[in-house]
Structure 1
Amino acid sequence: MRQLDVGRLRLLAAIARHGSMTGAAAALAYTPSAISQQVRRLEAEIGHPVLERHARGVILTDAGKAIVAHIGSIDRQLEALNVELDDIAGLRAGSLRLGTFPTVASSLLPLAVNRLHERHPGVRLSVVSARLELLLENLERRRVEMALLWDYEWSRISQPGLDLRHLTEDPTAVVVSSSHPLAARGSVRMAELADESWVIRGGGHPVAEVLSRTAHAAGFEPAVSFEANDYQEAQAMVAVGMGIALAPRLALANLRDDVTVLSLGVDAPRRRILLASLAGRVSTPAEAAMAEILAAVARASAVRPSDRP
């Protein structure tokens, strides 16, 4: 495929408009010899003559006519491209594919999406919610440009090739029924819960490991009475007295009226909420805008550790 210089194509169109290389040279502030040199280079690129020279000027060959016929369309397309690039740079257009996980998708992310739509309505956003392993795979396979991730102190994300931005920390809390003897308290020590039955997330969910580690650190083995599929189901079982539960604070954004949340104080296990992208990528304007919005929403929604109970 020929590699054509658009500047030389435009120069030929100028020659056609002015009827001579001298006229084009005067209009474009070139010397006639410079114009002639560029025409020779163009002819070498395409392998055909583009002009027939005569005493009163020049005449376009068939190849020259074809070039002049197309250069107007090329210029219009380039102008449209420049407008679109300006729109992307100014966040009047563009797209973003974002990965997230359920507890953030039901708490922080809606606030960020609303803010992005309000500020940059022309940006097309698509979101995929998944478990951690699939989010990492989606990043690696470039199915998403950015992903919201999480990790705990004992299972830090160490995957090479990722840039990780720490947005906030999400402390673990205790969920009890509103009729539970501890419900009137704002906080509790884990050791006080040794005799309780526990509602956990089933299927090897990470919060089950959080419970196991936290209970063992407090000196007891938790007795599990129910394995739930999601946090809403866990809340429902807590509400009817099947047991109490641990949950990250962000998982409790949609809290039932018949359950109560108790703080574990400064000793609560805390997971990091992270924004990840592939290392070495240059962020698009849409990515940079969403990253700043997510950081601002995370700061505003941060849960501060309460005083030690």
Structure 2
Amino acid sequence: MRAIRVLCEVAVHGSFSAAAEALGLTQSAVSQHVAGLERQTGLPLVERGTRPLALTDAGHALVRHGRAIAARLDSAEQDLAEIAGRRGRRLRFGSFPTALTTFVPAALARLRSRQPATALTVVDDHLQGLLPRLTDGELDLAVIYDHEVLAGSTRFDGGRVHLFDDTFQAVLPRGHRAAAGDRTVELTDLAEEAWVGGRPGSAWFTIVRHSCRAIGFDPRVSLTSDDYRAVQAFVAAGLGVAVIPGLAVARAPAGVEVRRLRVGAPVRRISVAYPDSAYQPPVVREMITILEGVTQRLRGVPRAARRPA
């Protein structure tokens, strides 16, 4: 593992000398570690002579697995040290952006007030980045979302606790005909409109497109962005209509009308997820309870006492 850690640092820094400085080793020691790994694997791991130093395919594969193993070992060391009382608690917490700008700050503040000595790290990442970090042991806990159409990309073998359902809403230019009178609209009312959508592969717009197709039309996208502020700015400028997650319209800008959808509204399930383990650090259990409490009003139902499954 020591040699694999060395190779991981070489991958980060792009040279033996920079990796040696980061690790507090000599350049010769770094070179020997890498050469030893190459003898063990029977494969070249670095392309010598390149600047910055590049990894071979075998090197990239070993680094990918090595980082996951190193993260797991680090988590094991942390858990054992906490149990023995030799180290303070830590929480490596991840979340997708719209949760970070809505309910997550209140949850983090509540944790800090209850456990001020906990070392807190917050990672802002998209769904596609959070799940691998959980699987590899880089995060202790993450707020994620899922939907049936994303089943292939949101598979996760750890545990999760459902927090609430985030119902998407229509965002229309001010004065739009569909926004007149009633506070709700039909998704089919927008079938012939120009849409502001997400970029190819966008998780949120994959959900929207799935819901539109389920009722018989495919949105005609004229502009794309995965920044909800940009999406709403385009709508405010009269460049199209959009359907975006409810969390994203919490602070809708001037120039747009937000309407609930009567039938066929897309819904994403918001959960807090954690690596599968028989041992769950106390701070992880505490944060799950806090998140349930903070999001109680978003569920619209009385909070049920339950343990993570």
Quick check: TM above 0.5? yes
| Deviation, structure 1 residue 175 | 0.6
1:201–1:231 Cα contact (<8 Å) kept = no
1:121 is aligned, of 98, 101, 116, to: 116
Q: After the TM superposition, list the runs of 4 or more consecutive aligned residues in structure 1 that deviate by more than 6 angstroms.
A: 81-84
| Deviation, structure 1 residue 255 | 1.6
How far apart are the structure 2 equivalents of 1:193 and 1:127? 38
1:271 is aligned, of 242, 251, 268, to: 268
> Does residue 1:178 correspond to 2:174, yes or no?
yes
| Deviation, structure 1 residue 97 | 0.3
| Deviation, structure 1 residue 182 | 2.7
Pair 287,223 (structure 1): closer, same or farther in 2 beyond 3 Å: same
> Does residue 1:142 correspond to 2:158, yes or no?
no
Aligned to 1:230: 227
2:195–2:221 Cα contact (<8 Å) kept = yes
2:193–2:220 Cα contact (<8 Å) kept = yes
Pair 189,303 (structure 1): closer, same or farther in 2 beyond 3 Å: farther
| Deviation, structure 1 residue 252 | 1.8
Between Structure 1 and Structure 2, whose CA radius of gyration is higher?
Answer: 1
2:212–2:219 Cα contact (<8 Å) kept = yes
- Partner secondary structure for residue 248 of structure 2: helix
1:216 is aligned, of 213, 216, 221, to: 213
TM-score (norm 2): 0.65
Amino acid in the other structure paired with 1:112: A
Pair 220,158 (structure 1): closer, same or farther in 2 beyond 3 Å: closer
What CA RMSD, in Å, does the superposition of the two structures yield over aligned residues?
2.5
Pair 277,209 (structure 1): closer, same or farther in 2 beyond 3 Å: same
How far apart are the structure 2 equivalents of 1:121 and 1:183? 47
- Partner secondary structure for residue 267 of structure 1: coil
2:254 is aligned, of 254, 257, 270, to: 257
Q: How does 1:40-189 map to 2 (within 5 A)?
A: 85=85, 94-156=89-151, 159=155, 161-184=157-180, 185-189=182-186
How far apart are the structure 2 equivalents of 1:101 and 1:295? 17
Tell me the alpha carbon deviations over residues 236-284 of structure 1, each in whole angstroms, 9 at most, x when there is no partner.
0000100110101012223212212111136312111111111124221
| Deviation, structure 1 residue 117 | 1.9
Q: How does 1:202-213 map to 2 (within 5 A)?
A: 202-213=199-210
Amino acid in the other structure paired with 2:240: G
| Deviation, structure 1 residue 103 | 1.3
| Deviation, structure 1 residue 129 | 1.4
- Percentage of identical aligned residues: 32
For structure 2, the residue ranges without an aligned partner over 5 or more in a row are: 1-80, 302-309
- Partner secondary structure for residue 286 of structure 1: helix
- Partner secondary structure for residue 99 of structure 1: strand
1:106–1:253 Cα contact (<8 Å) kept = no
Aligned to 1:245: 242
| Deviation, structure 1 residue 85 | 3.1
- Partner secondary structure for residue 170 of structure 1: strand
How far apart are the structure 2 equivalents of 1:83 and 1:141? 22
Amino acid in the other structure paired with 1:202: R
TM-score (norm 1): 0.65
